[in-house]
Amino acid sequence: MTQILIFLFFLSFLNTVRHLYFLLQTMIINYNNTNDDVEPIKYKLNEKELFLLGLSLSYILTLLVSLLI
């Protein structure tokens, strides 16, 4: 059981890092874009990705809170 929870934590962590990377990448591209002719790139999540990101963040936060108590 413990191995499954550790594996789920690892997957949640990777999912969160992946989305943070893409968000930062989009922000840096938009920041470095000095050309006014090009529209800024938006970071979009579909419903499934948003649900999984929320689930991953809630799992990580729950784990951190349970470790502090």
Cα of first residue to Cα of last residue in the chain, in angstroms, is 21
Number of C-beta neighbours around residue 3 at 10 A:
7
Q: How far lies 54's CA from each of 21, 40, 58, 63, in Å?
A: 16, 25, 6, 14
Judge whether 3 lies within some domain: no
Residues 26-67: tens digit of each pLDDT: 999 888 887 777 788 888 999 999 999 999 999 999 999 999
Judge whether 8 lies within some domain: no
When divided into structural domains, the chain yields a total of 1
Say what the pTM is: 0.82
Judge whether 58 lies within some domain: yes
